[in-house]
A and B are shown apart, each in its own frame.
Chain A
């Protein structure tokens, strides 16, 4: 277990990304630590998913760089990011509905025994993974379309966990789920954190993020609009999200300190 003062596993330095005329991210700095849930929150179009994409290797930043354990890396594809220990689960989950759970988990990286698939060991590993996540999937041989939203989410997370990644990026994991399934996903995030993974959780539901986050990064219009401690008050978060308050000193190096302070002492506001 490492604490916050340690070196970040993954750091984003001065990253910008544009899609045509839209500046999705402007000069963003983020640190991701092990054994920590970093929540990224923002309004629609704040650049949350772009940031998730950049961390997961789906997008290449126009400017700036990513540091893995302090060394610059270029992530060209999610596959390469996964090889470096960064796994992502995107909003659409990218599961194949007609394949069963085991086939989905190992799609593209099947375990082979000679020329044949080693179904037995794959199934065993699938159960191990799902059990670790305390998943309530009835059978690993059910097609994914027969599972509930929460169970699919668990399968997608389990797939990301293959190969023991150090950083897990979850993009809107509770967006389409009911209360009970959201509860499952939030418990799952807590367990991932306890297992020592670094979790980057992207969502626009501040209340849900606060339940599990150690740190909360607020994005607004592609810029970092404040970094808060996990116990910052909801009002402070909303104010930063909606632009009701401005970052204290403009640039992000100054913002995290000031905002974190304000966040920690959010009680002062009332």
Chain B
């Protein structure tokens, strides 16, 4: 939701700083981002928010409406006539719903894939399917209404859940992955609530698809995507198509056994990767000495230099660094993307690929980039994701 999404049609490529043109340019961007942030507001309110004069606002709104960026509709405010300003929508709306382990996120976009509204909501641990789905449906409906759109304008809904999904039936296929969600027909419930077609998939799969189509992996025909949040998920794209596998479990790296004598995982197997790097496990290791923390606290503290939190992330990174190759070596390995739950868990998927260090590296990479990392860990660094690298990482022997 920043002015960076400001449509390029209106943006002049080069403007002299401080000139009249650059000022008008900045004002336009301000107005568009204000409308984007608040969904819908009147011209008078727009003037209040941006601090521009009503006349300037009126001019710019008129100009942007002409350019097809904004849409105006007459309304009333405190009994007076007013002009309600929204972002222009062509061809209706689509909604994306992401159920995380601890949060729900809903985003609305128009058919040109511009995000018009975005809302996050914290959820209880072990949140229930019935309340969760009802909330998501209400949230979508409220957000559609806040954009001044009719419910009929909703063209479709995509839902991501952190569990393997039987895509055809739109239900969660594996037992025990999300408590209380076993076998819930997510698509069916939301379809009746929202009266729009709903498709459901695993969140890491959707992340992989997003990166392969528009993100870091665009242009590669094979890509794997690692989602590290409260749990660990993975998605595989081959030849531009998602690989689901039987029961939707392909790429589910969080449940690859890394210790045959390890603890029993929620999936029923022993020693899964998640029993070493899952959020509960990490937080459990710290609770004795540091009390109740959230995943975000751990990451914030590690950044501040808390040695215990660093250690926990470092170890998690090591476990993670060991696993991806086992599932990557079987396919032609071209590129690896990881979306880490860094500043905000649940916000990872497509927008945050871990390529640039500023956009939230995975614990693995973060841990490895610490200055105190042991020497034996260094060679692996060369295997860090990079699209330009050849099909085999430099330290292939170790990885394979």
Contact = CB atoms under 8 A, between A and B. Distances in A.
B48 A141 contact: yes
A238 interface: no
A178 B140 CA distance: 12
A179 B135 contact: yes
Contacts of A179: 121, 135, 138-139, 142
Contacts of B300: 1, 194
A229 interface: yes
Interface in B254-311: 280, 290-294, 296-297, 300-301, 304
A241 to B, nearest CB: 15
B125 A210 contact: yes
Contacts of A211: 102, 121-124, 127
B146 A234 contact: no
Contacts of A233: 126
B282 to A, nearest CB: 13
B41 interface: yes
Interface stretch (A12-20, A90-98, A182-190): A182-190
A37 to B, nearest CB: 10
Contacts of A132: none
Given A4-B292, A5-B291, A214-B292, A142 B48 contact: yes
Interface string A196-238: 0000000000011111101100000000000001110110000
Contacts of B125: 210, 230-231
A33 to B, nearest CB: 8
Contacts of B78: 146
A231 to B, nearest CB: 4
Contacts of A103: none
B148 interface: no
B119 interface: yes
Interface in B320-334: none
Given A179-B135, A187-B120, A230 B146 contact: no
Contacts of B120: 183, 187
Nearest to B78: A146
Contact of B292 (A141, A178, A230): A230
A231 B45 CA distance: 42
B38 interface: yes
A139 B124 contact: no
A239 B306 CA distance: 38
A3 interface: yes
Given A5-B291, A210-B124, A230-B292, A136 B38 contact: yes
B396 interface: no
B122 A212 contact: yes
Interface in B8-29: none
B131 interface: yes
A36 interface: yes
B129 to A, nearest CB: 13
A187 B120 CA distance: 8
A269 B38 CA distance: 45
A114 interface: no
A21 interface: no
A209 B124 CA distance: 8
A179 B296 CA distance: 24
Contact of A1 (B38, B41, B126, B301): B301
A207 B127 contact: yes
A139 B127 contact: no
B70 interface: no
B221 to A, nearest CB: 39
Interface string A1-36: 101110000000000000000000000000000001
Nearest to B145: A180
B377 interface: no
B80 to A, nearest CB: 12
Contacts of B292: 4, 36, 214-215, 229-230
A218 to B, nearest CB: 15
B357 interface: no
B102 A183 contact: no
A214 B121 CA distance: 17
Contact of B291 (A3, A190, A231): A3
Nearest to A229: B292
A180 B122 contact: no
9 contacts: A1-B304, A136-B37, A142-B48, A179-B139, A180-B119, A182-B121, A187-B120, A212-B122, A215-B292
Interface of A: 1, 3-5, 36, 136, 138-142, 146, 178-180, 182-184, 186-187, 190, 194, 207-212, 214-215, 229-231, 233-234
Given A146-B78, A210-B124, 13 more contacts: A1-B301, A4-B290, A5-B291, A141-B48, A180-B119, A180-B143, A186-B122, A187-B120, A207-B124, A207-B128, A211-B121, A211-B124, A230-B292
Closest CB pairs A-B (n = 9): A4-B291, A139-B48, A210-B124, A183-B121, A138-B45, A211-B122, A3-B291, A179-B138, A231-B125
